[in-house]
Structure 1
Amino acid sequence: MTTSARRPVYTHPVDGFGTVTIAPVDPAADAALIHGWVSQERARFWGMREANLELVQEIYEDLDRRTTHHAFIVSRDGEPVGLFQTYDCAEDRVSECYEVQPGDTGVHLLIRPAQGAAEHGFSAALMTAFMAFVWSDGRTRRVVAEPDARNEKAIARLERTGFVMDAEVELPEIDLPEVYLPAKRARLAFLTAPVAR
């Protein structure tokens, strides 16, 4: 099954940009695509540069089995353009770094490498769709991000989106049979749900 053939869980038209669709990652079908993105130098902060194709598939199979963590391929007019992950902060290592509140949803985002010249407003348009998707669940009250503390581009993008930057923390190492995550210096960032009018 190709990503474009899978039924999206969310569709969001963005004026002047196109239609953004968000569909669950199919670990077997999407592993090669994801590996192609995460193995590049520009994705070094994603922490998977050394992972081979088999490991990438195993990682996303593990995520697929979880009910608290979710991974999605994001497409623009049917073309994959990013990897978006959401998670329940109370069930993640970030919970050891701050006081989790009810309705906190964590996010990770990887935008695919630019093809040709960079397109002005590309990441902003995707962020519009991502945030609309997160708020649409009716449970999220606050979005939490924890980019690598050295990732200045991601931090600047979050600030432009309206996130309030918070403390620098150390996410603890996770060493389990099914998953290994090294400790990471991260910068917490928070975005409160918009007030309904």
Structure 2
Amino acid sequence: MPPTDHPTGDRTKGPVDDVEDTLELPLRIQDGLLARQWAPDPPDDPAHPDDAVRGELLDDPERWGPTTTSEGVLRLVPVRVGRDVTLISRWMNDPAVAAFWKLAGPESVTAAHLRAQLDGDGRSVPCLGVLDDVPVGYFELYRADLDPLARHYPARPHDTGIHLLIGGVADRGRGIGSTLLRAVADLVFDRRPHCTRVVAEPDLRNAPSVAAFLTGGFRFAAEVELPDKQAALMVRDRALRGVL
């Protein structure tokens, strides 16, 4: 059970702070440099040892394709540890992110977290959220009905969970998180016909994250006690996607 947006997200699951401290400026500069070094793989790129699992349990997010948002064209790009760990680790070491995801430390900490998913059975798939070819955030898409979370709420078959963090300080607090959450939830509904609900469980203390979900078309369903936090169970219903 991982995290989400104010996007800072919490791996307990959700995002945080809108405050841009002058101490964060160097991180913003370094994040920008890392993002510019990132490049998508060619369409015909051969299999790579760090390729993400195919994700059959999630109907293969790698093949979902792009979607247009008010912020640009969004793609979910399955993580490759060798290519992406430096950038994701930088984000995880932002204090606002670390407070919830709890993955601060050397790159090996983030790499181990990513590999645990990539080496699994495909029920959780880590992805970069890429806007107009620039990575802006980190997603974890997971089968909530097959996750330990299902012990804490009345799960339905094919419930799909989202964890999100917005990486750049400059991108937080201006609605990008809500836009991406809505767009990815819609992608899930479009690509996973048997899924009727997208769920998330941000930390109740993470008010910006909860607000981002509400603005992104989710509703507050319940307060749930999880092993690592008191969480807000947020739900986006297929039946209400045109209303909320």
**TM-score, normalised by the number of residues in structure 1:** 0.83
Corresponding position of 2:94: 40
Q: 1:5 to 1:42 in 2, by over 3 A?
A: same
Q: Closer, same or farther in 2 for the Cα pair 1:119/1:57, shift >3 Å?
A: same
Task: Determine if contact 2:217/2:241 at 8 Å carries over to the other structure.
Answer: no
Number of the residue aligned with 1:74: 129
Q: 1 or 2, which has the higher helix percentage?
A: 2
What is the root-mean-square deviation in Å for CA atoms of aligned residues?
2.4
**Inter-CA distance 190–118: structure 2 relative to 1 (3 Å threshold):** closer
Q: Which has the higher strand share?
A: 1
Q: In terms of mean alpha carbon deviation, does 129-138 or 3-12 score higher?
A: 3-12
Aligned residue identity for 2:205: R
Structure scoring higher RCO (CA < 8 A, sep ≥ 6) equals 2
The change in CA–CA distance for 1:4 and 1:98 in structure 2 (over 3 A counts) is: same
Match of 2:66, SS? strand
SS of equivalent residue, structure 2 residue 225: strand
Identity %: 27
- Distance of 1:35 and 1:62 partners within structure 2: 15
* Residue 65 of structure 1 pairs with residue 101 of structure 2: no
Alignment of 1:17-166 (within 5 A): 17-43=71-97, 44-49=99-104, 51-66=105-120, 67-115=122-170, 120-135=174-189, 136-166=191-221
Would you say how many aligned residue pairs link Structure 1 and Structure 2?
184
Alpha carbons 2:175, 2:212 under 8 Å: kept: no
Q: 1:113 to 1:138 in 2, by over 3 A?
A: same
Distance 1:46 1:126, change over 3 A: same
Residue deviations 1:50-77, cap 9 Å, x none? Answer: x321121111011012211111101111
When the two structures are superposed, what TM-score results if normalisation uses the length of structure 2? 0.68
Unaligned 5+ residue runs, structure 1? Answer: 173-182
> Secondary structure of 2:109's partner?
helix
The corresponding residue for 1:191 is: 236
The verdict on how the C-alpha distance between 1:147 and 1:11 changes in structure 2, with shifts beyond 3 A counting, is: same
How far 1:195 moved relative to its partner? 6.3
Counterpart Cα distance in 2 of 1:123 and 1:139: 25
The question of whether the paired residues in 2 share the 8 Å contact of 1:96 and 1:171 is answered with no
Task: Supply the distance in 2 between the matched residues of 1:131 and 1:163 (Cα, whole angstroms).
Answer: 9
The partner residue of 1:4 within 36, 40, 43 is: 40
- Residue deviations 1:76-131, cap 9 Å, x none? 1111001111111122121121121122111101111234x868442333223212
Report the residue type matching 2:230 in the other structure: R
Which stretch shifts more, 125-134 or 35-44?
125-134
Distance 1:127 1:45, change over 3 A: same
